[in-house]
Copies of this chain bind each other. A is one copy, B any other.
């Protein structure tokens, strides 16, 4: 784990929420690794709070699938096996298809603009070789689509599913050099949504997600 996890004491949010966000970020960025233990006293000391908000944050991480706890032994960052990832990908591919189809129906002009600019920023990040920006732009791209569905529960679920892959996906973006393919796929998605062609959109999104499956599973296999 990084030595100094720091709380960004923003607004007047309950500490549990701040702790939750902090730990979540740290896990997703890989600063705390799968299998690493989440010890309350240690975290409390590191973050300068008491155990209570730490414990509540852990309960929340648990329900998000980012942590696993064994009674009387405590929590650790959830590991994902290849099978887990496969399971998640099957679900995600199904729901992503649904999402993009709903987006075809419900997307607003403003959101379409956001989608295009996310796509632009994705391309730029690749040219600039900026991986952090690249990942962010990719998240933004899909976020616009999720929001455009008009189905908040779906948005939350898809964000959660994406989250579970994210740690591994960052590695994949580093390794996989088929960026042109990614750009093309994104562009096809934009076009399909713009043309409100639900069938096409679903098809393209499906292969977009499935393309990642192989790569991400390779990453996991290496780690096992």
Contact = CB atoms under 8 A, between A and B. Distances in A.
Interface in A119-177: 151-154, 157
Contacts of A72: 14
Interface string A27-51: 0000000000000000000000000
B87 A154 contact: yes
A98 to B, nearest CB: 5
B94 A98 contact: yes
Interface of A: 12-14, 16-17, 52, 55-56, 59-60, 62-65, 71-72, 84, 87-88, 90-91, 94-95, 98, 102, 151-154, 157
13 contacts: A16-B59, A56-B56, A56-B59, A60-B63, A84-B153, A87-B151, A87-B152, A87-B153, A90-B98, A90-B102, A91-B157, A94-B95, A95-B95
Given A52-B52, A84-B153, A91-B98, 20 more contacts: A12-B71, A13-B71, A14-B72, A17-B71, A56-B59, A59-B59, A59-B60, A60-B62, A60-B63, A62-B63, A65-B153, A87-B151, A87-B153, A87-B154, A90-B102, A90-B154, A91-B95, A91-B151, A91-B153, A157-B157
